[in-house]
Chains A and B, each alone.
Chain A
Amino acid sequence: MAKFVTIGERLSTTAPAVNKAFMERDPEPILKRAKQQLDAGAVYLDVNIGPADGYGEDLMKWAVQLLQSEFDNVPLALDTSNKAAIEAGISVYNRSKGKPIVNSADAAGRIENIDLAAANDAIVIALCNGEGIAADNDERMGYLTMLLERGLEHGMAETDMWFDPLFLVVKGMQDKQMEVLEFIKMISDMGLNSTGGLSNNSNGMPKNIRPIMDSALVAMAMMNGLTSAIVNPNDLRLMETIKSCDVFKGNTLYADSYLEL
């Protein structure tokens, strides 16, 4: 089995400092956050530029070139609802360390991002939802099937479609948590890859609690076959848990210094 793929989530317009740096094309804060995440063991970096209407193409190109030239062609997830920006990013993207990830497609308004990924030989994160959150796993599976067929029709390898079960917030949806975990198992049993915004589960919880909840959930999800997650790699407890689970799963060979690798 391959090692768990962490996608660092800290380059996002939702962070005011990052947003400002994106708007001003100021490399410093971007590179600093990228380095922190890579030093902590992130495999991919997510680049969330928001909708970026009118300037997304220029901004995504700038960000891709900035990050890949500074960090040895680090693989990136291009995260925006702006399709032209994703295509512009891919046009300057170097694949030597991994295919670009299109973040994301769903079974409703963003299904065409599957076609976009297929046309550009990219990986796509495919959210198993339509309009609103799926009511149960039957509905999730319906969306997954729809997305999978769309990808296969367009010539994608099924391993390039990373299905997102949609992690749900515990505060308010505690009764749905096991259902999400069971869906991860269903994805895994089909031989497919999965990923998702894991920390959504702990939204609204006190800061000191979130790493504990995230770590517990990632362990349970990896047990059920989760192959990747969009995470904060600077959460030490979470990264230690992921590395330890990779050992238990045989994804990496144990050595006393395994946490330093």
Chain B
Amino acid sequence: MPFNRKPQKFNASIKEVTIGCGEKAVTLGGENVYPFYSFDGEITNAPKVAVEISDMGVPEVAGLKAYYEGCSTMAEIAKRASEMEGADFVCLRLEGGDPNGANKSVDELIAVVKEVADAIDVPLAVEGCKNVEKDGELLPKVAEALQGKNALILSAREEDYKSVGAAAGLAYDQKVGAESAVDINLAKQLNVVTTQLGVKPESIVMNVGSAAVGYGYEYVVSTMDRIKAAALSQSDAMLQMPIITPVSSETWNVKESMASEEDMPEWGPVEERAISMEIMTAAADLACGSDAVILMHPQSVATISKMIKELV
């Protein structure tokens, strides 16, 4: 009997969300097939790669120090990041805002946001400091400062979706990241309540949680798998938002990426390991359904963007 290929196409599709303005704007989502199933149908917009930079400057990693050599201001760092081979946009992480860390003031951080936004011509995502109270105050101000830039604000969570969602999605017309921690029911619920606020579904990008490979990663796989399945096969409009996954903030803090070569000689050079962790995690995220990943190291960005190009 001859083999009859039956493409698995769905009537539903992932919503398209555009970040940024002008020629370099990027569009996430749009596909109506499973991740990289380009044999089933055209993948409208290939997954995108964002480069993470931090208000705390360039981390003490030789490869990063070398890449950003000569950059002394945030504007210079941002510009260099935006020129990285394979980068589609920049993600500024305001980790210095953490009250348990550098505890920078909101005004100080907003100055950094403006400096970065003015320095680059690619789209910008801004991630808070992860402290719910501080982010609740900081992110609405970020949304205000970036008026007209069509930026992605990361993130609105269960605790602060009202303030962050309303400021970013309604008042200042930015794109809203809806963040849940590997909890598929909460991921859907956040989209429901955020749209009930009045935010358009086309203005929402999900961050459904992440982990470094080997660190409970199978839960990330099943969460993303089930979200894509519900979005496409059940036409669940409340799960059809594209997914963005921060990778570097997870992978650079695990022991495989940090243990020194003296302590673990059999593991080889520490920077190579950290890059491997970042690449493996990002590749897995994309295979599970992420429409964008946020990476840090130039080698990871180049590798992952090449992988995307080869597969789409």
Question: Which A residues lie at the B interface, using CB under 8 A?
Answer: 2-3, 251-257, 260-261
Contacts and interface: CB of A to CB of B under 8 A. Distances in A.
Contacts of A3: 234
Contacts of B280: none
Interface in B232-246: 234, 236, 238-239
Nearest to A3: B234
Contacts of A261: 192, 238
24 contacts: A2-B234, A3-B234, A252-B230, A252-B236, A253-B184, A253-B185, A253-B188, A253-B230, A253-B236, A254-B185, A254-B188, A255-B185, A255-B186, A255-B188, A255-B189, A255-B192, A256-B185, A256-B189, A257-B192, A257-B196, A260-B192, A260-B196, A261-B192, A261-B238
Given A260-B192, A261-B192, A255 B234 contact: no
A247 to B, nearest CB: 10
B189 A253 contact: no
Contacts of B192: 255, 257, 260-261
A257 B236 CA distance: 14
Interface residues of B, number: 14
B226 interface: yes
Contacts of B221: none
Given A251-B234, A252-B234, A257 B193 contact: yes
Contacts of B239: 253
Interface string B199-214: 0000000000000000
Contacts of B196: 257, 260
A253 B193 contact: no
Contacts of B238: 255, 261
A255 B192 CA distance: 8
A215 B189 CA distance: 25
Contacts of A257: 189, 192-193, 196
Interface string B239-257: 1000000000000000000
A2 B189 CA distance: 20
Contacts of A251: 234
A163 to B, nearest CB: 23
Nearest to B231: A253
B224 to A, nearest CB: 13
A256 B189 CA distance: 6
